[in-house]
Structure 1
Amino acid sequence: MEYPTTGREGDKSRPPRILIVDDEAINLETLAWILREAGFEPLRADSGPKGREMASREQPDLIILDIMMPGESGFETCGKLTADPVTADIPIIFISGLNDVDNKVKGLRMGAVDYVPKPFAREEVLARVKVHIRLRQGMRALLAQQAAKLAQIRDAQQAILVAPDDLPEARFAVRYVPALEAGGDFYDVFPWTATVMGYFVADIAGHDLGASFVTSSLKVLLRQNTGPLFTPVETLKNINSVLASLLRDGKHLTAALVCLNRVRGKLTLVNGGHPPPILVPAGGSPASLLAADGDVLGAFATVQFGRIERRVAAGDRIYLYTDGLIERFGPEAKAREQGLADLLAACVAVAGQPLEAAVDTVMRGILDAGRPADDMVFMGIEV
């Protein structure tokens, strides 16, 4: 049988709730009495399936689970609870008359945090319950602190990214989706000279916090090495020289740098191991990939970069992106070549939309396939 419960996870005024799962009524009532007398709120279920349903719905602070139950054993119930993301982090204490080492070890290997033998003593039960609730509360507090720090890093990282409204003359739209709170992809848009606009997209190897810290350096390096004193190739070579002396453990980045002179209708691309930008002409000519092989940045002291110059006309669009848009892993695995073909087709399909809407439409179609495992930057530029 199942007993009614009250309260919900997140109510800070309620006492900690303990779910007891046991097919013997005497054990349920005895444990409930022990816990209630100590100030806890007991929840009760007399079978594994009912206990799992209640754990999912009520989110107790801890579960006390009997091993020997008819039908679904406590081991089976534990395995299903720890495999379910909704209940996986709820600590489980086994109780059982099977007081041998093998059963204790089996329970701990299945994800339980402790083991109390029958007949159970009041002080032992309460001591173990208190310890594991405190541990869970401490872990949650630690995770909350880490999340707050990540949010600060994310906010700082977002603050250095240029928004289209900040530079309307650049005529670009962009979407940035980090896989973590702080991502390892980076973009920048800036005036190179009075008539040339610079567009930069980079992908730091990995998407951990170490990668995210590199992005703040890129902003400074770009601004120090761009302008009329530098060619685009010199810019990337200078950045590579700095990064090669700083990056460790195989860390590197790919990058694409586009310089666009709208007055002369000239586009210059310098590529450092990055996926090829997509060019969609305004007049209905076929779209194409601006493929230019080049070395990655930060891995080698001496590098060579691919370089392309193209004539462009008003209304043409160039799309820069990171490889999170064209690669999929896991159940939705997709070959890089197929992902690139799909992205090119998507860019062509939105040619009639305003640039902002076009970028949104393409990105929405990619995100509909599932949360990315890698950071994503997608930038559209209109000549």
Structure 2
Amino acid sequence: MKKTPLILIIDDNPINVKLLEIILKKEGYRAISATNGPDGRHLAEKQRPDLILLDIMMPGEDGFDTCKQLSQRRETTDIPIIFISAVEDTTSKVKGLNIGAVDYITKPFERAEVLARIRIHLKLKLANKAIIEEQAARLNQIHEAQDAILVKPEEIPEANFAVTYVSVLEAGGDFYSVFSVGEDIFGYFVADISGHDISTSFTTAALNALLNQNANPMYTPVETMKTLNILLKKMLNDGQHITACYAHLNRPGSILSIVSAGHPPVIYIKANGEIDVLENPGDILGAFDRVSFNTIRVRVSKGDRFFLYSDGIIEGFGENKKSREQGIKELVDACFNTCQISVTQAVEKIMTSLFPGDTKPEDDIVLLGVEV
């Protein structure tokens, strides 16, 4: 049986709510309502509407705050939000779109415009779902070898990176990729896939394909990660998940943007030797239907460096067991001691420092260093 779209109205004015309910129900939509932001968010999480019509000027929590919180909650992050408000200045419209809304209608509204915009965004939601399902189906055709998909520094020298990849077993659980996102804009991606069986080879190939399809100028790093999550959720086995870090380096704009999915922090070293450990919370990939991520933006300068890595670098087992904090401190110290040498030499020296002599890693390892 075909499901009738459910629209949630959040507005403190009962006349506006009633009017919208009449308009929607006459067109065959189902409608529910709330008169304030907190109640609206609760309804959205409980009922999972197909679209939300949201007022801005409400007592207590205004519409901007409500939209921001809905966008950050994994249960509601994918619900299209249309602001419908008497506030009509451009600044407010842009602010609303930037915090997660898909459209903006000014009051007094016209019935035809409201319905037209609702139809458009419901269609877009369905079209996006169809595209994602098509991409998921194509993943079944990927059977490339794991090592063949790992890009080498000489293949993309303008990205100015060096990398060490160590797989403890034949089917490694770690993955990295470096790719062009635009003119002199590059993406650096490191992931750790739970489990170490033959299926991880398929998963790394799938990740590579998904990044090629979804990391481009049309999508922000957060949008790319959310799309990856939707597809990985369909593909991964029960209980399997991925931690990942996506660093987006815009060299012309001198901006480094970092999005993390439950991954260890990026080590950032300025050209003058100052070091920052960039902790960035975010949900893991492939475990939840809806996820939330944050973006850290850093203004960079020529000569700055940053390091992405998997947790095999900072963890120890058995006699070499150590805390995460201790492991990060050791890595930071090792990175600091390589400031005066090339990034290629730095990656080699860091590995030698952390695994001296015949010491072998007990887990898969990726260490990826980048110089701005």
The two structures have a TM-score, normalised by structure 2, of: 0.60
Q: Note the residue ranges of structure 2 that are not aligned, 5 or more in a row.
A: 1-142
Aligned partners of 1:163, 1:191: CA distance in 2, in Å? 13
Aligned partners of 1:321, 1:207: CA distance in 2, in Å? 18
SS of residue in 1 equivalent to 2:233: helix
Matched, 1:347 2:335: yes
CA contact (8 A) 1:241 1:298 kept: yes
What is the aligned-residue RMSD (CA, Å)? 1.7
Paired residues, what number? 230
Which residue of structure 2 aligns with residue 21 of structure 1? none
Aligned partners of 2:285, 2:317: CA distance in 1, in Å? 25
CA contact (8 A) 1:185 1:212 kept: no
Larger mean Cα displacement after TM superposition, 203-212 or 225-234 = 203-212
Aligned partners of 1:204, 1:187: CA distance in 2, in Å? 11
CA contact (8 A) 2:175 2:366 kept: yes
Matched, 1:309 2:311: no
Matched, 1:242 2:231: yes
Which residue of structure 2 aligns with residue 319 of structure 1? 307
Which residue of structure 1 aligns with residue 370 of structure 2? 381
CA contact (8 A) 1:197 1:260 kept: yes
CA contact (8 A) 2:257 2:296 kept: yes
Residues 117-132 of structure 1: pairs in structure 2 closer than 5 A: none
Matched, 1:217 2:206: yes
SS of residue in 1 equivalent to 2:252: coil
Residue 155 (structure 1) shift: 9.2
Aligned partners of 1:156, 1:240: CA distance in 2, in Å? 23
Residue 267 (structure 1) shift: 0.5
SS of residue in 2 equivalent to 1:242: helix
Decide which of 282, 302, 309 is 1:294's aligned counterpart: 282
CA contact (8 A) 2:144 2:205 kept: no
Aligned partners of 2:205, 2:363: CA distance in 1, in Å? 19
Structure 1 residues 155 and 234, CA gap change in structure 2 (3 angstroms): closer
Q: Note the residue ranges of structure 1 that are not aligned, 5 or more in a row.
A: 1-153
Decide which of 353, 359, 363 is 1:365's aligned counterpart: 353
Aligned partners of 1:180, 1:209: CA distance in 2, in Å? 10
Residue 263 (structure 1) shift: 1.4
Residues 211-259 of structure 1: CA distance to partner in whole angstroms, max 9, x if unpaired?
2321010000001111111111110100100111121231000110011
Residues 129-182 of structure 1: CA distance to partner in whole angstroms, max 9, x if unpaired?
xxxxxxxxxxxxxxxxxxxxxxxxx99211111000000000000000011123
Decide which of 142, 145, 163 is 1:156's aligned counterpart: 145
The two structures have a TM-score, normalised by structure 1, of: 0.58
- RCO higher in 1 or 2 (8 Å CA, sep ≥ 6)? 2
Decide which of 301, 307, 326 is 1:338's aligned counterpart: 326
Q: Give structure 1 regions of 4+ aligned residues with deviation exceeding 6 angstroms.
A: none
Aligned partners of 1:330, 1:262: CA distance in 2, in Å? 42
Whichever of the two has the greater Rg, that structure is 1
CA contact (8 A) 2:229 2:286 kept: yes
Amino acid at match of 2:362: A
Aligned partners of 1:365, 1:304: CA distance in 2, in Å? 36
